[in-house]
Chain A
C-alpha cells in the first residue's frame, strides 16, 4: 500500500495496512486526523466511565442501605416505604434482639430488584469504546451483582471509601 499526500486515513485503512504502511502514513501525517479523533474519544470515554463508576457505586450504597434497613426490620413482610415509625421494642434488650433476628424481611426480592437495575448499567458500560475502562466498569457491576448479604454489601462499599 502506498501513501498519498493530504489523504487522511480511517480505521478501515488501518485494518488492511501492514506495519510498514502505517509507519509511512504516520510519517506523511496521514494519520493526524484519525489519531486526534481517537484521542478525543478516549477522553470522552474517561469522563463517562468516571460518571458511570460513581453511579454504580451509589447503586451499591443504596443496596447496602436497604439491606441494613431490612436487617433491623422487625417483621417478615416488606417494610413500608413510608418513613418508619418507632415500634415498641418489648420489655428488654434480649426481646428486641430476638424480634430482629426472627424477621427475614424480603432480602431475596430486594436483591432481584437491584440486579435488574444492573442490566441498565451494563448497557451503558457497553457504550464505552475503551476495553480497559469497559472491563473495569463491568468488574464493578459484577461485584455489585454478586452481593447476597448485608456484610458483602458493606465490605464492597467500604472498599470504595478506602480507594
Chain B
C-alpha cells in the first residue's frame, strides 16, 4: 500500500457514491411531472389524472434535465485530480488503481439516461 493506492481506494468509494447520487437524481427527474422541477423544494403531490396511462404519459413527457447531468459529469473529473495531487502513479499497483478510477470516470461520462445510471450502479 502507498499514499496513492490509499487515496485511490477512497476516491473509488467516493466516485461510486457520486454515481449513486447521479442515479438517484436522474430517477427523481424521470418521475417528475414538470420539465424543470424546482429543486429547492420537495415536489408537490399533484393530481394524477383519471388513469394510470394518463399519469405515465404525463411523466414520460419530460426528459431528464440535461444541464444537471452535464454538471455532474463535468465535476466528476475532480476524482482524477484528487489522486494526482498526492503524486504521479509509479508502481504497478498505483497505476492499476489509477486506471480503475479513469475507467469509472469514463463509465460515468457515458451516462445519458436513468437506466444507464441504474446499470452502472448495479455493477458496484
Contact = CB atoms under 8 A, between A and B. Distances in A.
B120 interface: no
A93 B9 contact: yes
A35 interface: no
Interface in B8-51: 9-11, 13-15, 17-18, 20-21, 24-25, 27-28, 31, 39-51
A5 to B, nearest CB: 36
20 contacts: A48-B50, A51-B50, A51-B52, A52-B48, A54-B48, A62-B27, A62-B28, A62-B43, A81-B39, A83-B72, A84-B21, A85-B75, A86-B15, A91-B3, A91-B86, A92-B6, A93-B6, A113-B41, A120-B44, A120-B45
A51 B55 contact: yes
Q: Is the interface of B mostly helix, strand, loop or mixed?
A: helix
Interface of B: 3, 6-7, 9-11, 13-15, 17-18, 20-21, 24-25, 27-28, 31, 39-52, 54-56, 59, 67-69, 71-72, 75-79, 82, 86
Interface of A: 44, 47-48, 50-52, 54-56, 58-59, 61-62, 65-66, 68-69, 72, 81-93, 95-97, 100, 110, 113-114, 117-118, 120-121, 124
Interface of A is mostly: helix
A67 to B, nearest CB: 9
